[in-house]
Amino acid sequence: MNVLVTGARGYIGRAVAHRLADAGHAVVGFDLAPLVEEGPLHTASSIRQLVGDVRDEEGLTQTLQDHAVDAVVHLAGKIVVSESVTEPLAYWDHNVGGGIALLKAMVAADVRQIVFSSSAAVYGEVAPEPIAEQHRREPMNPYGRTKLTMEWMLEDLDRAGAVHYVALRYFNAAGAVPGVTVERHHPETHLIPNALTAAASGRPLKIFGSDYDTGDGTAMRDYVHVGDLADAHRVALDHLAQGGASLALNVATGLGYTVAEVVASLERALGRPVPTVAADRRPGDPPLLIGRGTAIREHLGWVPAHPDLDDITKSAVAAHRP
Ligand code: UFG
Could you confirm whether 143 is annotated as catalytic? Answer: yes
Taking Cα atoms as reference points, which of 167, 137, 154, 317 lies closest to residue 249? 167
Residues 6+ apart with CB under 8 A from 176: 182, 183, 226, 315, 316, 318, 319, 320
Selected catalytic residue, list 11, 91, 143, 212: 143
Report how far ligand 1's centroid is from the alpha carbon of 72 (Å). 27
The phi, psi pair for 126, rounded to 5°, reads -140, 175
Pocket of ligand 1 (CB under 6 A): 79, 81, 119-121, 143, 172, 189-191, 194, 205-208, 219, 221, 259, 282, 285, 289
In this predicted structure, the answer to whether residue 44 has a pLDDT above a threshold of 70 is no
Nearest CA to ligand 1 atom 16: 191
In this predicted structure, the answer to whether residue 42 has a pLDDT above a threshold of 70 is no
Nearest CA to ligand 1 atom 7: 207
b/e burial code for range 49-60 (CB count within 10 A of at least 16 → b): bbeebbbebebb
Cα dist from 63 to 27, 52, 116, whole Å: 12, 9, 18
Q: Where are the domains of the chain?
A: 2-174+223-253+290-303, 191-219+255-289+311-320
User: What is the pLDDT confidence band of residue 40, given thresholds at 50, 70 and 90?
Assistant: very low
- In this prediction the pTM is 0.95
pLDDT tens-digit series, residues 65-83 = 999 999 999 999 999 888 9
Task: List the beta bridge partners of residue 199.
Answer: none
Q: What span, in angstroms and rounded, lies between the C-alpha atoms of 254 and 307?
A: 9
Nearest CA to ligand 1 atom 31: 121
CA 194 to ligand 1: nearest atom: 8
b/e burial code for range 245-257 (CB count within 10 A of at least 16 → b): ebbbbbbbbbbbb
The phi, psi pair for 170, rounded to 5°, reads -70, 135
Task: Determine contact, residues 192/141, Cβ cutoff 8 Å.
Answer: no
Cα dist from 208 to 31, 73, 262, 265, 296, whole Å: 31, 33, 13, 18, 31
In this predicted structure, the answer to whether residue 166 has a pLDDT above a threshold of 50 is yes
pLDDT tens-digit series, residues 273-307 = 999 999 999 987 889 999 999 999 999 999 999 99
* Pairwise pLDDT comparison (32 vs 165), residue with the higher score: 165
Average pLDDT over residues 197-210: 97
DSSP string spanning 42-79? T--TTEEEEE--TT-HHHHHHHHHHTT--EEEE--S--
Q: For position 211, what pLDDT does the model report?
A: 96
Q: For position 186, what pLDDT does the model report?
A: 81
Ligand 1 pocket: which of 190, 206, 263 to mutate (most atoms <8 Å of CB)? 190
Helix, strand, coil percent content, the chain, rounded in steps of 5: 40, 20, 40
Class in CATH terms, 2-174+223-253+290-303: alpha beta
Average pLDDT over residues 174-184: 92
Ligand 1 pocket: which of 81, 140, 263 to mutate (most atoms <8 Å of CB)? 81
- CATH superfamily label, 191-219+255-289+311-320: UDP-galactose 4-epimerase, domain 1 (3.90.25.10)
DSSP string spanning 245-283? PPEEEEE--S--EEHHHHHHHHHHHHTS---EEEEPPPT
Q: For position 45, what pLDDT does the model report?
A: 59
Q: What span, in angstroms and rounded, lies between the C-alpha atoms of 117 and 151?
A: 10
* Distance of alpha carbon 283 from the chain centroid: 20
Q: For position 322, what pLDDT does the model report?
A: 61
DSSP 244: P
Question: What share of the chain in percent tops pLDDT 70?
Answer: 95
Work out the mean pLDDT of the chain and round it to a whole number.
Answer: 93
Q: For position 34, what pLDDT does the model report?
A: 66
In this predicted structure, the answer to whether residue 41 has a pLDDT above a threshold of 50 is no
CA 282 to ligand 1: nearest atom: 11
User: What is the pLDDT confidence band of residue 263, given thresholds at 50, 70 and 90?
Assistant: very high
Report how far ligand 1's centroid is from the alpha carbon of 239 (Å). 30
Dihedral sign, CA of 214, 151, 70, 45?
A: negative
Q: What span, in angstroms and rounded, lies between the C-alpha atoms of 99 and 92?
A: 10
Q: For position 232, what pLDDT does the model report?
A: 98
In this predicted structure, the answer to whether residue 199 has a pLDDT above a threshold of 70 is yes
In this predicted structure, the answer to whether residue 165 has a pLDDT above a threshold of 80 is yes
Average pLDDT over residues 146-167: 98
Average pLDDT over residues 116-131: 88
In this predicted structure, the answer to whether residue 140 has a pLDDT above a threshold of 90 is no
